[in-house]
Structure 1
Amino acid sequence: MDLDTVRTFVAAAEAGQFQEAATELAVTQQAVSKRIAALERGLGVRLFTRTPRGAALTIDGQAFLPHARELLRVAERAVASVRAGRRPLRVDVLTSRSAQSGLMRGFHRVHPDVELDVLTLFDIDTAVAAIRSGAIDASFRAVAAPGRPLPEDIESVRVLDEPLDLLTGPGHVLAGARSVTLAQLAGHRIWMPGVVPGTEWTAYYDDLVAGFGLDIEVTGPNFGSDALLDTIADTPALATFMGGRTRLIWPADHGLRRIPVTDPTPVYPHSLLWHRDNPHPALTTLRAHLAAATAGHDAVGTWRPGWVLPR
């Protein structure tokens, strides 16, 4: 149904005269008459009858009027849902407990007026496709893994280098250490079932393994962080890596230990990705907030893969 004819019908019904409706809509009276006639033909009913004072709704016109008004309201809501600045800023984070999610919580505290829609996508290819299609406005990712350069229309900036901790149960041989070096981890079993071939985080850990001779096991299904924590707590021979700013809660009797890794400290490089033509004003606000809120890039004594993009 043509919305211009519906809008003209509502204007004429509320004004009671075609001439007043024409003035309100900035068209001629003849245009109003043609639009009403076209709408009546499409509906197969008369909507108005002429009166000495102008035009009055017929019974069919009275029945159609509330639905016509609702059509216009729905159309306005549809336009508002995609109008820059009127819809939520859609941002992808890796998990709800990650440092990326923490960055967005910090942004929300500083800018509570910005409406957000935070979601989780699986890998960088999915995220980039969503950015290019307009499904999301931005994504936090580690870029760019070897052989996977970003498309030319995707911009990125590194926003956070997150140190890795070693997570062990109480019975692990390193559980009492205040810190451990990467060299000390050689020969220890580090279990990370969430490492999936083809993802950017797998590229990161592949380089970490190659550079320091670590043993990372990815066997078994990934049942989520709770199952991982249960297994680490109950298995003295296993440890895992955990982002230093990843928020986790576990039962007190687990006795888990978060141990800083040093000499060098491996850091996971979080970058923000967005489309260079994205007009959402809150995206600029988010980028400015992240530029001011994060620091520590390329600090002395840290390690990251050579393919990580510069800040």
Structure 2
Amino acid sequence: MDTEALRSFVRAAELGQLQHAADELGVTQQAVSKRIAALERELAVRLFTRTARGVELTFDGQAFLPHARTVVAGVERGIAAVRRESRALRIDVLGFRSAQAVILHDYWRAHPETELDVVTLRADDPHVAVAAVRAGDIDASFRSVTDPATLPRDVRMVHVLDFPLELLVGPAHPLASARTLTPAQLRGHRIWVPGIAPRSEWAEFYEELAADLDLPIDGTGPNFGVEVLLETLADSPEVATLVGARDRLVWPATYGLRRIPVERPTIAYPLSLLCRRADPHPGLRAIIDHFRGLATVPAPAWRPSWRGR
């Protein structure tokens, strides 16, 4: 069934004049008449009777009108959903406590007129995010593909920010009283990052970090969530972990956890954005500029090799 015919029928019924409907739809009265006539032939009923004042619905037209309105409204909602300039910018973040989500929230608070739809894909492999970008399920994703040669031509990866990592320890840990630490001072201390997922960007990040800086990264055990990790750190004199400097972490005051900057070199985690190469969402440029305008990581800094690819 022709949706333009349905739209012409609905507007003529609401306005009571074929000419008024034509003016609103930006077509001729003859075009509206032909559309409605074709609709009547398809339905095998008369929808209007002509009067001196214009047109009036028949009983069949009155019965058909609410259903036609529903169809037209559904089509208009569908069009709005795929027209990037008229819908919210859909961005995937690794987690709602992650630094990327925190910075994105800061941007939105400064620009509350921006329509954002923030989601998190339940996938560790960044190529899942690439597929979602290509399919139009999301406009962009804060993920990194460590081998850009595997990216399809219609998707690009834009580096937006490096953010420093900090050591997070409990009050009984031997490093808890330090104001700053160097990577060399972390050697010999267990750095627990549970649930490092194969094929994830952070798996490669921690593998290179352990090899280059000779750090004991322990990825054993399942990931039971942030709360369990924080509770473990609070009770342990031996376990530490690494967290992003902007990650949003909250714990009870009784835990006494310490976040300690790591310097000389700073451990820098590269943050990239995956998006379509052609016709990106118009709101994306301002987001990229905001992230790139933030403070850079203090030098000297260690970055994974794929940061420069």
Same fold (TM over 0.5): yes
State which drifts further: 204-213 or 301-310.
Answer: 301-310
CA separation in 2, counterparts of 1:213 and 1:266? 13
Structure 1 residues 260 and 70, CA gap change in structure 2 (3 angstroms)? same
**Secondary structure of the residue that 1:284 maps to in structure 2?**
helix
Q: Aligned ranges for residues 281-292 of structure 1 at < 5 Å? A: 281-292=282-293
Q: Shift of residue 270 of structure 1?
A: 0.9
Greater CA deviation, 40-49 or 16-25? 16-25
State the Cα distance separating 1:33 from its structure 2 match: 4.6
SS in 1 for 2:87: coil
Aligned to 2:138: 136
Secondary structure class of the residue paired with 1:90: strand
Per the TM alignment, residue 23 of structure 1 is displaced from its structure 2 partner at its CA by: 6.4
Q: For 2:301 and 2:88, locate their aligned partners in 1 and report how far apart those are by CA, in whole Å.
A: 36
Letter in 2 for 1:134: G
Cα contact 2:97–2:247 (8 A) shared by 1:
yes
What is the aligned partner in structure 2 of residue 172 from structure 1?
173
Gaps of 5+ in 2: none
Does the 8 A contact of 1:191 with 1:218 survive in 2? Answer: yes
- Counterparts of 2:246 and 2:24, CA distance in 1: 58
User: Do the aligned partners of 1:137 and 1:278 also contact (CA within 8 Å) in 2?
Assistant: no
The answer to whether the 8 A contact 1:165-1:244 is kept is: yes
Q: 1:79 to 1:177 in 2, by over 3 A?
A: same
Would you say the 8 A contact 1:181–1:262 is kept in 2?
A: yes
1:308 corresponds in structure 2 to 307
Moved more, 259-268 or 151-160: 151-160
Match of 1:269 in 2: 270
Structure 1's 179 and 3: CA in aligned 2 closer, same or farther, altered over 3 A? same
Provide structure 1 residue ranges, at least 5 long, that are not aligned to the other structure.
none
Task: Percent identity, please.
Answer: 55
Q: Could you tell me which residue of structure 1 aligns to residue 244 of structure 2?
A: 243
1:81 counterpart residue number: 81
For 2:256, the equivalent position in structure 1 comes to 255
Distance 1:71 1:264, change over 3 A: same
User: How many Å separate the matches in 2 of 1:227 and 1:213?
Assistant: 27
CA deviation after TM superposition for structure 1 residue 147, in Å: 7.7
- How far apart in 2 are the matches of 1:243 and 1:15? 59
Q: Which amino acid aligns with 1:309?
A: G
CA contact (8 A) 2:266 2:299 kept: no
- Asked if the contact 2:127/2:145 (under 8 Å) is kept, the reply is no
Aligned mates of 1:162, 1:23 — CA distance in 2: 56
CA distances 1:96-153 after superposition (whole Å, capped 9, x unpaired) = 1111012201211222111001111233112111112111111222x44258643333
Alpha-carbon distance in structure 2 between the residues aligned to 1:90 and 1:179: 38
Structure 2 CA distance for partners of 1:263 and 1:77, relative to 1, 3 Å = same
CA contact (8 A) 1:170 1:236 kept: yes
Provide the rounded CA distance (Å) in 2 between the counterparts of 1:23 and 1:208: 66
Question: Which residue identity does 1:133 align to in structure 2?
Answer: A
What is the CA RMSD across the aligned residues, in angstroms? 2.4
The two structures have a TM-score, normalised by structure 1, of 0.88
Which SS does the other structure have where 2:306 is aligned?
Answer: coil
The amino acid of 2:277's aligned partner reads: R
